[in-house]
């Protein structure tokens, strides 16, 4: 009966991606057994995570606190890419509700919890104008959208990019002369983790633990 009904044919692409991903805590290293490869991996990992000089550790810790990420996340991104994280990308759909007023004007309503996080963030902040959050803006409205957004977020937003995929993020970063290795995505759920991977970002931070 198995060949009479394809149980896998209709599943969502995100489900397929989730099934391919390693489990929580997996770092894509070899199986931790007594093999030579496992021994080499453990030795390299221990060397990479060797405690740095106290002044270096303090500097990294302060930077991590300003960005709202952990010391380990900051250090891991540094070891993977050689670049220091300093900028966050936040999807507009998570940051605010955008709607039309009675006269067709654009109204931006920051989500209270997110507005508080943005106020505490001490890095460069970029907003991704993902399609789900934007009610059909024309070119003139898009041109003036950043100014409206900064009224709602006290001038904390440096730039906004339009789109909902990895190329949109890369384009926004390129226009603003920011290497992707220096930016991380703040998101919620598997979809945003896949978005961060598609953009080639070194880290996707769950919004529930950002600046906590």
Helices (H) and strands (E) in the chain, counts: 10, 7
Q: In the chain, where are the structural domains located? A: 87-206
pLDDT of residue 22: 59
**Residues 6 or more apart in contact with residue 205 via CB below 8 angstroms:** 68, 69, 73, 88, 184, 185, 186, 187
Give CA–CA dist 161/136, Å, rounded.
15
**pLDDT, average across residues 18-36:** 60
Residue 41 predicted with pLDDT over 90 = no
pLDDT of residue 5: 39
Q: Are 189 and 210 in contact (CB under 8 A)?
A: no
Q: Write down the architecture of domain 87-206 according to CATH.
A: 3-Layer(aba) Sandwich (3.40)
For 60-102, how does the pLDDT look when each residue is reduced to its tens digit (9 = 90+)?
899 999 999 999 899 888 888 778 899 999 999 999 999 888 9
pTM of the model: 0.78
For 140-153, how does the pLDDT look when each residue is reduced to its tens digit (9 = 90+)?
888 999 999 999 99
- Tell me how far apart the 2 most distant CA atoms of the chain are, in Å: 70
């Amino acid at each position: 009966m198995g060949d009479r009904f394809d149980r896998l044919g209709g599943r969502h692409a995100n489900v397929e991606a989730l099934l391919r991903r390693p489990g929580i805590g997996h770092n894509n290293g070899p199986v931790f057994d007594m093999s030579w490869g496992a021994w080499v991996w453990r030795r390299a990992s221990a060397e990479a995570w060797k405690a740095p000089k106290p002044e270096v550790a303090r500097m990294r810790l302060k930077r991590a606190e300003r960005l709202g990420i952990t010391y380990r996340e900051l250090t891991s991104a540094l070891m993977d890419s050689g670049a220091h994280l300093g900028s966050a990308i936040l999807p507009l759909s998570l940051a605010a509700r955008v709607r039309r007023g009675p006269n067709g004007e654009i109204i931006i309503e920051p989500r209270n919890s997110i507005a508080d996080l943005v106020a505490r963030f001490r890095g460069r902040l970029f907003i991704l104008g993902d399609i789900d959050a934007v009610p059909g803006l024309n070119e003139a409205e898009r041109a003036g959208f950043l100014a409206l957004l900064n009224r709602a977020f006290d001038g904390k937003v440096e730039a906004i990019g339009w789109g909902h995929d990895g190329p949109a993020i890369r384009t926004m970063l390129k226009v603003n002369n920011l290497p992707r290795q220096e930016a991380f995505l703040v998101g919620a759920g598997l979809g945003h983790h896949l978005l961060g991977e598609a953009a080639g970002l070194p880290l996707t931070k769950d919004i529930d633990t950002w600046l906590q």
